[in-house]
């Protein structure tokens, strides 16, 4: 892959595609692809692109030589689109989740290996200034050991008005939607995780709208993750209780509150555009923050969470 001038096809022309396109030089976009050609035309006009539009990724790749495919479609479509791109020798940056099951994500990793191409799952929060500042402080030893971690992503989301309400496309509710980011962020701080308990689970029909899970790292760090489509869960999306104080990573500010000194700011507000720009450069430069199998590990945990929910409540979403 030519990292200085990559030829990029963007697949799926909805809201998340806009975030990716804002991070990429327009000259590098060689095609837009969406089953709804009107959506592709609207996005091309919005970004003042001259690249052609297609309603088929297969035809787009046959027509436009490409180095990278960015997959921005609903989750249930990821497996076939990613596999097609990889088998064509194209590197892939896939929106979360990588796939809907451990089985499918494992196949994709193997296909990437067989074709000697890069496959990464979007992990924008690893590139957030607040997360970077907190990680740097932890790694410096100033905070002492991390003892407990709480992650919370919550906002009132009218999912009924989007494709998220169609389980055939979404594959699940709030855990399939926000779970990949929350679990990936937890793994970034504490490493591999296993589930201890499911503390809350609220559903609207087939889709879970709220859920809280307790996990533990291999090193013994307690992790609690709360997700909601029904309400806000506060100004801080990650709170790290450390031996010498508390790190609060927030939407407006990230703070270090040592037990024996005055609190200080270590990063400003969350900047989505900045995260996507840094992630894109990380993808091109093989940044370690975009791990080879991190997306698959998140899928594995989500599958286990759904299995736990199903066992405790037969009305919960069945495991894929």
pLDDT digits 0-9 by tens, 239-274: 999 999 999 999 999 999 999 999 999 999 999 999
Q: Listing from the earlier edge strand, what are the strands of the sheet with 245-250?
A: 193-204, 207-217, 222-228, 146-154, 236-242, 245-250, 254-258, 264-267
Residue 50 lies in a domain: yes
Of residues 160 and 85, which shows the higher confidence score?
Answer: 85
- Please give the C-alpha separations between residue 115 and each of 2, 99, 182, in angstroms, as whole numbers: 17, 19, 30
| Torsions phi, psi for 300 (to 5 deg) | -60, -45
Distance CA 74, CA 195 (A): 26
Residues 68 and 184 reside in one and the same domain: no
Asked whether the predicted pLDDT for residue 123 surpasses 60, the reply is yes
Instruction: Report the share of the chain in percent with pLDDT over 70.
Output: 97
Residue 279's SS3 state is: helix
Q: Are 221 and 261 found together in one domain?
A: yes
Based on the fold, state whether residues 299 and 234 are members of the same structural domain. Answer: yes
Query: For the whole model, what pTM was predicted?
Result: 0.95
What's the rounded Cα separation, in Å, for the pair 92 and 206?
Answer: 31
Task: Tell me, yes or no, whether 183 lies in a domain.
Answer: yes
Nearest to 31, CA basis, from 62, 47, 15, 53: 53
Q: What is the DSSP letter of 318?
A: P
Q: Is 316 a residue whose pLDDT tops 80?
A: no
Question: Residue 291: pLDDT band by 50, 70, 90 thresholds?
Answer: very high
pLDDT per residue over 5-17, tens digit each? 999 999 999 999 9
Residues 169, 62, single domain; the answer is no
Whether 169 and 244 map to the same domain: the answer is yes
> 319 pLDDT band (50/70/90 cuts)?
very low
CATH number (domain holding residue 83): 3.40.50.720
Q: Are strands 207-217 and 119-121 parallel, antiparallel or unpaired?
A: unpaired
Claim to verify: residue 265 and residue 130 sit in the same structural domain: yes
CATH of the domain at 184: 3.30.360.10
Residue at a domain's end among 59, 94, 121: 121
User: What is the count of structural domains for the chain?
Assistant: 2
Averaged pLDDT for residues 272-282: 98
Q: Assess whether 112 and 46 both reside in one domain.
A: yes
CA distances from 7 to 42, 72, 279, 292 (A): 21, 17, 17, 21
Residue 279 counted as domain residue = no
Q: Read off the pLDDT band of 4 (50, 70, 90).
A: confident
Examine the domain organization and report whether 203 and 248 are in the same domain. yes
Q: Give 129-183 as a DSSP string.
A: HHHHHHHHHHHHTTT--EEEEEEEEE----GGGSGGG-HHHHSSSHHHHTHHHHH
The pLDDT of residue 1 is: 67
- Per-residue pLDDT tens digits for 39-74: 999 999 999 999 999 999 999 999 999 999 999 999
Quick check: 312 pLDDT over 90? no
Containing structural domain, residue 23:
8-121
């Amino acid at each position: 892959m030519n990292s200085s001038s990559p030829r990029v096809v963007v697949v799926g022309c909805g809201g998340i595609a806009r975030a990716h396109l804002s991070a990429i030089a327009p000259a590098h976009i060689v095609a837009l692809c969406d089953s709804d050609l009107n959506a592709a035309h609207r996005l091309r006009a919005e970004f003042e692109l001259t690249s052609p539009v297609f309603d088929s990724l297969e035809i787009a790749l046959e027509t436009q030589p490409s180095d990278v495919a960015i997959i921005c479609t609903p989750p249930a479509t990821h497996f076939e689109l990613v596999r097609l791109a990889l088998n064509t020798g194209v590197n892939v940056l896939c929106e979360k989740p990588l796939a809907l099951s451990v089985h499918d994500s494992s196949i994709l990793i193997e296909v990437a290996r067989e074709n000697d191409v890069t496959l990464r799952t979007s992990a924008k929060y690893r590139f957030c200034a607040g997360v970077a500042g907190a990680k740097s402080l932890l790694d410096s030893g100033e905070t002492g050991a991390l003892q407990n971690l709480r992650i919370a992503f919550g906002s009132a989301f009218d999912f009924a008005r989007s494709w998220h309400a169609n389980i055939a496309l979404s594959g699940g509710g709030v855990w399939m939607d926000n779970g990949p980011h929350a679990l990936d962020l937890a793994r970034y701080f504490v490493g591999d995780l296993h589930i201890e308990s499911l503390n809350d689970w609220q559903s609207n029909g087939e889709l879970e709208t709220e859920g809280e899970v307790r996990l533990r790292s291999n090193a013994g760090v307690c992790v609690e993750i709360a997700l909601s489509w029904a309400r806000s869960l506060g100004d801080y999306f990650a709170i790290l209780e450390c031996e010498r104080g508390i790190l609060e990573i927030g939407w407006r500010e990230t703070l270090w509150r040592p037990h024996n000194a005055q609190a200080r700011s270590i990063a400003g507000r969350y900047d989505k555009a900045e995260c996507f720009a840094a992630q894109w450069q990380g993808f091109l430069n093989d940044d370690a923050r975009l791990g080879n199998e991190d997306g698959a590990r998140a899928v594995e945990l989500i599958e286990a969470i759904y299995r736990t929910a199903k066992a405790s409540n037969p009305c919960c979403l069945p495991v894929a």
